[in-house]
């Protein structure tokens, strides 16, 4: 009370009251010792009144001086130190103080306007604070006079000092009851306080956060804060800045916690990134409340971190709803799960929460009739998202010992594909495509597809009018074509129309490059020696388109574009099909000549960095070289007659290897086509597949059907002998070991080379290694080679040392190995 009286007294000194009080009335209320209004007046035996605390201290000082207590006014000794309260005076002082306070506050109202000067507004706000802190009467006056909204209006003052004082005043209001907090929240006060929180002035921001923290203790005010656009985000930003100002951050977090406790704010809080209130209601609320919260959650755009939080907190809850909830609840649950499962990490959490099992159950063929098509599509979409998370589903239990790739599970979903709508088919095909992309599950999927006989159904989607389903099926067929190429080829053989649709997608459709690439790779993976498919591709003009595209890419500087590289690889594989059926299909020979395939594949050998294109090109050149059947001129008389005709026509050369007239276009002679140098260059490649393919093509110069001695001479002149020996010295294994051993044995039939090689200890060691560690065929060839270099004795003549005689007892490389089968 004393503080308020002092305040009133100071107000009077400032002249805010505007008139003088009567000196007699005021002097009666003032303690003669302290000269301040008395709070607890008492009277002594001289009849004078004093403040209890002041007169007690006076008497104590008198005793300390060694004399008896005396009256401060009369200085007469007081025999009795009794202090008797003066209740009437105390009541009069209180009544006078209350009246002064009311009058003071009412006068202050005129300065709580935008027209007041800075000094007037600050003094008026100070008066309000003193009145509010003075007790019940002051607070009642502030409320009755409507001063709370007036103070809120002062927040829009142009003076920083006024705004700070107004925030301090509001903070005082907010420390009382919910009624006062709600009164403060009327109008735009809350919005203005939020603006101060987001401003650069540190003092204003600190006062605004403190005021809002106290105001948020009211549930009604919490609702108003949450409704303001961006309020929660601003508070969240401040609460996260603990390094800048820990005090402000702590109060901002406390405000958010107050907002969290308000149930009706759950949706607004969730929209601003604070999901805990909504998730708590989802877990603990009634079914109606759960549906409301789930519907709200489904509409919120969640960050990846929040998706993980939702998956962990309520993933299993939604799993139960999709299996056992009503249709309305299922629809909402599927939407939420589809939204959450789009992120790989949150999808993994859903898998940990065992959401797979209820999804599979609702998609089972005997239960899909219980779901509308729209919800079946949603369930399939969630399943497709989950398998795209990168988890090894071969190890994730579904129920008991079964996994998602168990045969009966896959059979069930394959059956569903054949008995549902295109959108659901599309999602399930995407599901199988993803599983087929994983090395851990592809074999299980392939085995189940094969055992169910579903290959035909899957291939038939190639002619589907539903583009998404067609794309998904083509991608899936491509993935499984590495394992089911013969089964897929059988379907295409039975239905040329399907093959035509695949050709159209691969070469004629524009737009979906992923679909085109997958279709092309399917064609590339079909069995190369399938004459029926090659004929059908020829009938549909596929090879003409392929040649055109290959030349187009080659002219665009192949190797500089990743997409072009992948496309060129598939195109080369498709085009190489022609070379595998040359003997059985005369039309393929004609095509090879028409498109000059030997020259084309020779050019592709130059594409360094495209290993698979080089492998395919070398194998194609091998096939073409084996078919270098030209008129043979073995008789010397015929050769002399040929010379009588004079100068040979352009591009026509007499080939000593094939003993006839050769050209690269007409009979695919790799010697005349200058491919030998490129193939020898490939022997130094780091990729063993390229090395083996190039060696296989060069071996056609050493075959039984040609002049082997001339072939050896070609290799020697082209510096090809040393690289072949170097390959053998690396002690390769498998088919490369057999092929290079064969080539070395043929080369060593030249006595001068064999004599020089006999001193090459590393070559001898390599032949011994092949003789000891190769298969039976390789050992037999290595034995013959060792005899050429005198490393083994020759007990019988079983080796034809004359390389020009065809039909050696060691056999032809063409007959001995068909490593492309």
Name the one residue in this structure whose structure tokens are 């859903």: 350
pLDDT surpasses 70 at 330: yes
- What's the pLDDT band for 810 if we cut at 50, 70, 90? low
Q: Counting beta carbons within 10 angstroms of the beta carbon of residue 264, is it exposed (0 to 12), middle (13 to 18) or buried (19 or more)?
A: exposed
CA distance 544 to 592: 11
In 29-86, which ranges are continuous DSSP H helix?
52-64
pLDDT surpasses 70 at 16: no
- What's the pLDDT band for 231 if we cut at 50, 70, 90? confident
Give the H/E segment covering residue 403.
strand 402-403
Q: How many angstroms separate the first and last alpha carbons of the chain?
A: 107
Mean pLDDT of 1-29: 46
Give the H/E segment covering residue 6.
helix 2-14
Mean pLDDT of 57-80: 87
The proportion of the chain whose per-residue pLDDT surpasses 90, expressed as a percent, equals: 30
In 145-229, which ranges are continuous DSSP H helix?
147-153, 160-174, 178-184, 189-197, 202-215, 219-227
pLDDT surpasses 50 at 820: no
Q: How many CB atoms lie within 10 A of CB 795?
A: 7
Q: Counting beta carbons within 10 angstroms of the beta carbon of residue 681, is it exposed (0 to 12), middle (13 to 18) or buried (19 or more)?
A: middle
CA distance 365 to 363: 6
pLDDT surpasses 80 at 679: yes
In 3D, which of 280, 274, 271, 287 has the Cα closest to residue 314?
Answer: 280
Task: Please write the tens of the pLDDT for every residue from 712-757.
Answer: 998 999 999 999 999 999 999 999 999 999 999 999 999 899 888 8
pLDDT at 224: 84
Task: Please write the tens of the pLDDT for every residue from 165-182.
Answer: 888 888 888 887 888 888
- The CA-atom distances, in angstroms, between 488 and each of 22, 499, 578 are 114, 10, 19
pLDDT surpasses 80 at 311: yes
Give the H/E segment covering residue 248.
helix 246-260
- What's the pLDDT band for 510 if we cut at 50, 70, 90? low
- Coil/strand/helix, residue 402: strand
CA distance 349 to 565: 38
Name the range with the highest mean pLDDT among 104-113, 195-204, 517-526.
517-526
In 3D, which of 747, 743, 752, 763 has the Cα closest to residue 803?
Answer: 747
Name the range with the highest mean pLDDT among 162-166, 418-422, 526-530, 800-804.
526-530
Pairing mode of beta strands 402-403, 397-399? antiparallel
- What's the pLDDT band for 277 if we cut at 50, 70, 90? confident
Work out the mean pLDDT of the chain and round it to a whole number. 83
- Measured in whole angstroms, the distance separating CA 390 from the mean position of its chain's CA atoms is 11
User: CB-based contacts of 55: which residues, under 8 Å, 6+ apart?
Assistant: 33, 42, 44, 72, 83
Mean pLDDT of 85-96: 83
- What's the pLDDT band for 693 if we cut at 50, 70, 90? very high
Cα-based torsion angle of the residue sequence 226, 232, 233, 236 in order, rounded to the nearest 10 degrees = -170
Pairing mode of beta strands 653-655, 402-403? unpaired
Name the range with the highest mean pLDDT among 223-237, 413-427, 508-522.
413-427
Mean pLDDT of 554-570: 73
pLDDT at 127: 85
- What is the residue extent of each domain of the chain? 27-84, 91-228, 654-664+679-789
- Coil/strand/helix, residue 122: helix
Q: Counting beta carbons within 10 angstroms of the beta carbon of residue 110, is it exposed (0 to 12), middle (13 to 18) or buried (19 or more)?
A: exposed
Mean pLDDT of 321-330: 88
pLDDT surpasses 80 at 27: no
Give the H/E segment covering residue 84.
strand 84-85
Tokens standing for residue 734? 């498998």
Tokens standing for residue 62? 């008198």
CA distance 38 to 55: 11
CA distance 113 to 107: 12
Task: Please write the tens of the pLDDT for every residue from 262-274.
Answer: 777 788 778 877 8
pLDDT surpasses 70 at 160: yes
Q: Counting beta carbons within 10 angstroms of the beta carbon of residue 682, is it exposed (0 to 12), middle (13 to 18) or buried (19 or more)?
A: buried
- What's the pLDDT band for 707 if we cut at 50, 70, 90? confident
pLDDT at 704: 82
- Contact predicate 432/457, CB 8 Å: no
Contacts from 588-597 at CB under 8 Å and sequence distance 24+?
A: 588/534, 588/538, 589/627, 591/538, 591/543, 592/624, 592/668, 593/665, 593/666, 595/543, 595/547, 596/664, 596/665, 597/624, 597/668
- Coil/strand/helix, residue 209: helix
pLDDT at 799: 46
- What's the pLDDT band for 433 if we cut at 50, 70, 90? very high
Question: Within the chain, how many helices (H) and strands (E) appear?
Answer: 46, 7
- Contact predicate 523/537, CB 8 Å: yes
pLDDT surpasses 90 at 20: no
What are the DSSP calls for 358-388, one per residue?
Answer: HHHHHHSTTTGGGS-HHHHHHHHHHHHHHHT
CA distance 343 to 308: 8
- The CA-atom distances, in angstroms, between 801 and each of 24, 634, 787, 814 are 149, 20, 11, 20
- What's the pLDDT band for 559 if we cut at 50, 70, 90? low
- Stated pTM of the model: 0.71
- Coil/strand/helix, residue 687: coil
The proportion of the chain whose per-residue pLDDT surpasses 70, expressed as a percent, equals: 88
Assign domain 91-228 to its CATH architecture.
Alpha Horseshoe (1.25)
Q: Counting beta carbons within 10 angstroms of the beta carbon of residue 355, is it exposed (0 to 12), middle (13 to 18) or buried (19 or more)?
A: buried
pLDDT surpasses 80 at 40: yes
Q: In what order do the strands lie in the sheet with 84-85?
A: 49-51, 41-43, 84-85
Q: Counting beta carbons within 10 angstroms of the beta carbon of residue 258, is it exposed (0 to 12), middle (13 to 18) or buried (19 or more)?
A: buried
Mean pLDDT of 295-309: 89
- Coil/strand/helix, residue 714: helix
Q: What is the CATH number of domain 27-84?
A: 3.30.40.10
Task: Please write the tens of the pLDDT for every residue from 336-355.
Answer: 999 999 999 999 999 999 99
Q: Which residue has the higher pLDDT, 237 or 800?
A: 237
Task: Please write the tens of the pLDDT for every residue from 644-657.
Answer: 344 445 555 577 88
pLDDT surpasses 70 at 456: yes
Give the H/E segment covering residue 662.
strand 660-662
Mean pLDDT of 285-297: 87
Q: How many CB atoms lie within 10 A of CB 277?
A: 21
Tokens standing for residue 770? 């092949």
Task: Please write the tens of the pLDDT for every residue from 126-136.
Answer: 888 888 887 77
pLDDT at 818: 46
């Amino acid at each position: 009370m004393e503080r308020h009286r002092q305040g009133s007294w100071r107000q009077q000194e400032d002249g805010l009251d505007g008139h003088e009080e009567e000196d007699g009335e005021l002097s009666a209320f003032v303690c003669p010792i302290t000269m301040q209004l008395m709070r607890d007046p008492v009277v002594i035996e001289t009849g004078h009144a004093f403040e209890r605390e002041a007169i007690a201290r006076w008497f104590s000082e008198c005793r300390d001086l060694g004399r008896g207590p005396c009256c401060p006014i009369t200085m007469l000794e007081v025999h009795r130190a009794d202090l008797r309260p003066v209740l009437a005076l105390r009541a009069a002082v209180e009544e006078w103080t209350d009246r002064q306070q009311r009058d003071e506050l009412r006068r202050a109202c005129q300065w709580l306007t935008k027209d007041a000067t800075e000094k007037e507004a600050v003094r008026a706000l100070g008066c309000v604070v003193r009145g509010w802190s003075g007790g019940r009467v002051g607070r009642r006056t502030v409320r009755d006079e409507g001063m709370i909204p007036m103070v809120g209006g002062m927040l829009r003052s142009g003076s920083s000092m006024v705004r700070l004082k107004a925030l301090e005043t509001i903070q005082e209001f907010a420390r009382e009851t919910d009624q006062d907090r709600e009164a403060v929240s009327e109008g735009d006060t809350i919005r203005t306080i939020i603006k101060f929180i987001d401003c650069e002035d540190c003092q204003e921001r600190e006062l605004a956060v403190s005021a809002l923290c106290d105001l948020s203790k009211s549930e009604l005010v919490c609702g108003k804060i949450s409704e303001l656009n961006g309020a929660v985000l601003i508070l969240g930003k401040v609460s996260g800045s603990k390094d800048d100002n820990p005090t402000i951050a702590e109060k901002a977090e406390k405000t958010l916690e107050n907002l969290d406790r308000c149930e009706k704010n759950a949706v607004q809080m969730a929209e601003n990134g604070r999901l805990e209130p909504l998730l708590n209601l989802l877990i603990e609320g009634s079914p109606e409340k759960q549906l409301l919260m789930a519907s709200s959650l489904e509409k919120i755009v969640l960050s990846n971190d929040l998706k993980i939080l939702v998956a962990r907190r309520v993933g299993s809850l939604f799993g139960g709803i999709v299996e056992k909830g009503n249709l309305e609840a299922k629809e909402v649950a599927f939407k939420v799960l589809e939204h959450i499962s789009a992120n790989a990490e949150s999808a993994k959490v859903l898998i940990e929460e065992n959401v797979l099992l209820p999804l599979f159950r609702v998609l089972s063929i005997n239960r899909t009739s219980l779901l509308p098509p729209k919800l079946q599509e949603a369930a399939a979409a969630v399943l497709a998202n989950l398998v795209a998370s990168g988890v090894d589903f071969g190890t994730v239990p579904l129920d008991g010992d079964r996994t998602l790739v168990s045969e009966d599970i896959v059979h069930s979903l394959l059956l569903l594909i054949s008995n549902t709508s295109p959108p659901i088919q599309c999602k399930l095909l995407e599901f199988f495509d993803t599983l087929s992309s994983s090395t851990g599950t592809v074999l299980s999927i392939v085995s189940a597809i094969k055992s169910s006989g579903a290959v035909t159904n899957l291939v038939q989607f190639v002619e589907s009018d539903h583009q998404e389903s067609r794309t998904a099926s083509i991608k899936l067929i491509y993935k499984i074509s590495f394992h089911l190429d013969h089964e897929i080829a059988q379907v295409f053989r039975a239905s040329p129309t399907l093959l035509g649709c695949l050709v159209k997608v691969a070469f004629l459709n524009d737009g979906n490059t992923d679909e085109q690439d997958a279709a092309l790779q399917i064609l590339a993976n079909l069995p190369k020696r399938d004459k029926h498919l090659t004929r059908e591709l020829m009938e549909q003009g596929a090879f003409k388109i392929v040649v055109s595209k290959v030349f187009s890419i080659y002219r665009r500087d192949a190797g500089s574009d990743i997409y072009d590289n992948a496309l060129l690889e598939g195109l080369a594989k498709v085009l190489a099909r022609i070379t595998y059926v040359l003997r059985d299909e005369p039309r393929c020979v004609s095509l090879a000549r028409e498109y000059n395939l030997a020259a084309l594949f020779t050019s592709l050998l130059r594409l360094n960095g495209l290993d698979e294109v080089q492998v395919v090109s070398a194998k194609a050149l091998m096939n073409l070289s084996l078919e270098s059947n030209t008129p043979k001129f073995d008789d010397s008389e015929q050769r002399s007659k040929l010379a009588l005709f004079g100068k040979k026509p352009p591009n026509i050369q007499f080939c000593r290897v094939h003993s006839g007239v050769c050209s690269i276009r007409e009979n695919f002679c790799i010697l005349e086509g200058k491919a030998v140098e490129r193939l020898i260059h490939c022997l130094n490649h780091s990729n063993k597949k390229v090395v083996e393919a190039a060696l296989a093509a060069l071996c056609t110069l050493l075959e039984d059907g040609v002049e082997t001695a001339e072939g050896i001479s070609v290799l020697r002149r082209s510096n090809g002998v040393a690289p072949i020996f170097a390959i053998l010295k690396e002690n390769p294994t498998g088919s490369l070991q057999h092929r290079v051993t064969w080539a070395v044995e043929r080369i060593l039939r030249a006595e001068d080379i064999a004599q020089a090689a006999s001193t090459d200890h590393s070559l001898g060691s390599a032949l011994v290694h092949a003789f000891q560690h190769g298969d039976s065929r390789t050992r037999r060839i290595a034995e013959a080679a060792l005899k050429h270099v005198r490393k083994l004795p020759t007990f019988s003549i079983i080796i034809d040392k004359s390389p020009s005689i065809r039909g050696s007892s060691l056999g032809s490389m063409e007959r001995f190995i068909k490593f492309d089968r």
